[in-house]
Amino acid sequence: MSTSPPAEGPRPADGPSSPAVGQMLLVSGPSGTGKSTVCKLLGEDPRVQFSISATTRPPRPGEVDGREYHFVSKERFRELIREGAFIEHAEVYGNMYGTLRAPMEDAIAAGNIYLVEIDVQGALQLMALDVPGLYVFIAPPDFETLRRRLAGRGTETPEILERRLRKAEDEYRERVKYDHVIVNDDLDRAVAELRRITGLEERA
Ligand code: ADP
Ligand code: 5GP
């Protein structure tokens, strides 16, 4: 099994990338399409390692340092930027967030899947930086289903739900930029498809 990361270069517009473990797997898509549900199931495989970002945002109740995020001071975050520790970083609602380089490199070198679950904006940033990996867009079966799932999750006010649905339509247009689009109709089928395209199934 190769332990080197895949070569950099343009990704095929719609063709499959070579199935292999030891790579970044980026999972993205509009809010409510099932990214975290799918990623949680995929993460049951011990060869899958979740990316944990660093942030200057204070932890919310129940959040644990090193589990949801690495919580750091603004000063430490600036130091990490200077050290080149981030692949990308951004300010969101006044707080800084960044994807750390070293854990990704270590996971890939160890032959694992480094799973980055990120919103569409963040995914486009990583594509623009030519970060090698498999870019997967999780699509809703249709927008009515997406509305039902978002409403059913019960985490959004009606106003935010409408805003997210409008944003989802814009984000949906970006799916053509990804290596794969997985329609999350049946959860088990969607996870199985992800396992297949990452090579996890083949090497089970
Ligand atoms: P995201 O992380 O993309 O915002 P979630 O994983 O929170 O989305 O999923 C949104 C809601 O849809 C959750 O309530 C989840 O249980 C549900 N859900 C996810 N995938 C499916 C599926 N294949 N079929 C039915 N419901 C699903
Ligand atoms: P929250 O504070 O609610 O956990 O996250 C707020 C926003 O920050 C979300 O939109 C999330 O996608 C984004 N975010 C989390 N980690 C990162 C990261 O490492 N880089 C970037 N660019 N955005 C991130």
Measured from the alpha carbon of residue 92, the closest ligand is 2
From 71, 86, 92, 163, the mutation candidate for ligand 2 (largest count of ligand atoms within 8 A of CB) is 92
Taking the C-alpha atoms of residue 140 and residue 33, their distance in angstroms, rounded to an integer, is 5
Q: Please state the pTM of the whole predicted model.
A: 0.87
Confirm or reject: Cβ of 68 under 6 Å from ligand 2: no
Q: Is 124 helix (H, G, I), strand (E, B) or coil?
A: helix
Ligand 1 atom closest to 187 (CA): 23
Residue range 30-85, pLDDT digits in tens: 999 999 999 999 999 999 999 999 999 999 999 999 999 999 999 999 999 999 99
111: its two tokens = 């032959």
Which domains does the chain show, CATH number per domain? 2-51+111-198 (3.40.50.300)
**4 pLDDT tier (thresholds 50, 70, 90):** very low
CA 198/CA 202 separation, integer angstroms: 9
Among the listed ranges 68-72, 110-114, 151-155, 181-185, which one has the minimum average pLDDT value? 151-155
Q: Which protein residues are within 6 Å of ligand 1, measured from CB?
A: 29, 31-37, 149, 152-153, 184, 186-187
Q: Cβ neighbours of residue 152 under 8 Å, at least 6 residues apart?
A: none
Given pLDDT bands bounded at 50, 70 and 90, which one contains residue 20?
Answer: low
